Homo-oligomer: A and B are copies of this chain.
Amino acid sequence: MTRRPVIAVLEGAHPVRGLERVQELAEFRVVQSDGLARALDGADVLYLWDFFSGALPAAWHAADSLQWLHCAAAGVDRLLFPELVASDVVVTNAHGVFDQPMAEYVLGAVLHAAKGFGPLRDQQSQRDWIWREGRNIAGTRALVVGTGSIGRHTARLLRAVGIRVEGVGRVASEHDDDFGRVHAAADLARVVGDVDWLVLVAPLTPATENLIDADVMGALPESAVLINVGRGRLLDEEALVARLRDGTLAGAVLDTFAVEPLPPDNPLWSLPSVLITPHMASNADSWLDDLAAQFERNLRLWLAGEPLPGVVDKVLGYVPSIRR
Contact = CB atoms under 8 A, between A and B. Distances in A.
Contacts of A239: none
B279 A131 contact: yes
Contacts of A125: 122, 125
Contacts of A261: 129
Contacts of A276: 120, 124
B108 A104 contact: no
A217 to B, nearest CB: 22
Interface residues of A, number: 49
Contact of A111 (B107, B122, B260): B107
A322 to B, nearest CB: 23
Nearest to A105: B115
A271 B24 CA distance: 50
A146 to B, nearest CB: 20
B112 A112 contact: yes
Contacts of A132: 278, 280
Nearest to A120: B277
A203 interface: no
A157 interface: yes
Interface stretch (A77-85, A134-142, A293-301): A134-142
Nearest to A266: B127
A66 interface: no
Contacts of A138: 100, 104
A42 B57 CA distance: 88
Contacts of A252: none
A302 interface: no
Contact of A104 (B115, B260, B277): B115
Contacts of A105: 115, 134
A159 to B, nearest CB: 9
Given A121-B121, A157-B161, A136 B279 contact: no
Contact of A124 (B115, B137, B269, B284): B269
A255 to B, nearest CB: 10
A171 interface: no
A160 B120 CA distance: 27
A101 interface: yes
Given A112-B117, A118-B121, A269-B124, A104 B278 contact: no
Given A101-B136, A114-B284, 14 more contacts: A104-B114, A108-B117, A112-B112, A115-B284, A117-B117, A118-B121, A120-B275, A120-B277, A120-B278, A125-B125, A127-B264, A133-B284, A134-B281, A134-B283
Interface of A: 100-101, 104-105, 107-108, 111-112, 114-115, 117-118, 120-125, 127, 129-138, 157, 160-161, 260-262, 264, 269-270, 275-281, 283-285, 287
23 contacts: A101-B134, A104-B138, A104-B161, A107-B111, A107-B161, A108-B112, A108-B114, A108-B115, A115-B284, A120-B275, A120-B278, A127-B264, A127-B269, A129-B260, A129-B262, A131-B279, A131-B283, A132-B280, A133-B280, A134-B281, A134-B283, A136-B284, A157-B161
